[in-house]
């Protein structure tokens, strides 16, 4: 089991705080059930409630191979989204990253790029990982750009990989090696 004290990462604009069960609230849960916010998330297939989200956060907190950080504005500690690192593969020194900006007012302001850069630095410098991967739906250009601005390289495209409300769509695969940022 991980250390009880949550991990906190800081920049001038954002604070990333490892989420605890007590951080789950109606606003956070509403993001996961909002069809505009969750349109690119796999969690959209299951309605979420406070209990299901608390169980998920607790499961991640207890895992040694997963981290779930809340993304907070440094100026006022407003919770605007989450970023996940995991699961970590110890034998391969690698992991994947997923991100959600749930607060619609905070979209297209560069916060995703900052959060991705922060978690990438943490993964490479503190956790000593060698490779990080990410995926995003073909239409999710904002997410793709945020990863590319953070040093991730387009590694592939999976045609017709997933089902959406408007039909099948592709998935971009991106990756970042520790050596890419050295």
Across residues 15-41, what is the average pLDDT?
Answer: 89
- Asked whether the beta carbons of 82 and 70 are under 8 A apart, the reply is yes
Q: Bigger pLDDT: 116 or 1? A: 116
CATH number of 8-133: 3.40.630.30
User: Count of CB atoms within 10 A of residue 133's CB?
Assistant: 15
- Of the given ranges (28-42, 100-114, 163-177), which has the lowest mean pLDDT? 28-42
Average pLDDT, the chain: 92
Distance of alpha carbon 66 from alpha carbon 119, whole angstroms: 12
Across residues 124-139, what is the average pLDDT?
Answer: 96
Among left, alpha and beta (phi > 0; psi -120 to 50; other), residue 50 is: alpha
Per-residue pLDDT tens for 133-155?
999 999 999 999 999 999 999 99
User: Count of CB atoms within 10 A of residue 36's CB?
Assistant: 8
User: Does the structure show a pLDDT above 70 at 3?
Assistant: no
Q: Strand, helix or coil at 101?
A: strand
Model's pTM, two decimal places? Answer: 0.93
Cβ-count burial of 24 within 10 angstroms (0-12 exposed, 13-18 middle, 19+ buried)? Answer: buried
How sure is the predictor about 4, in pLDDT bands with cuts at 50, 70 and 90? low
How sure is the predictor about 6, in pLDDT bands with cuts at 50, 70 and 90? confident
Which sequence spans correspond to the domains of the chain? Answer: 8-133
């Amino acid at each position: 089991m991980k250390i009880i004290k949550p991990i906190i990462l800081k920049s001038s604009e954002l604070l990333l705080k490892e989420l605890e069960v007590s951080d789950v609230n109606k606003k956070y849960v509403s993001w996961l059930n909002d069809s505009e916010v969750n349109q690119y998330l796999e969690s959209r297939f299951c309605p979420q409630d406070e209990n299901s989200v608390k169980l998920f956060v607790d499961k991640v907190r207890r895992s040694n191979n997963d981290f779930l950080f809340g993304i907070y504005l440094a100026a006022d500690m407003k919770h605007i989204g989450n970023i996940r690192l995991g699961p970590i593969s110890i034998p391969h020194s690698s992991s994947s990253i997923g991100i959600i900006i749930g607060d619609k007012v905070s979209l297209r302001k560069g916060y995703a790029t900052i959060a991705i850069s922060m978690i990438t630095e943490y993964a490479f410098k503190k956790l000593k990982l060698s490779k990080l991967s990410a995926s995003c739906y073909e239409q999710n250009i904002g997410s793709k750009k945020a990863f590319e601005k953070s040093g991730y390289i387009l590694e592939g495209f999976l045609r017709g990989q997933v089902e959406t409300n408007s039909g099948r769509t592709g998935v971009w695969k991106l990756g970042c090696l520790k050596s890419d940022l050295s």
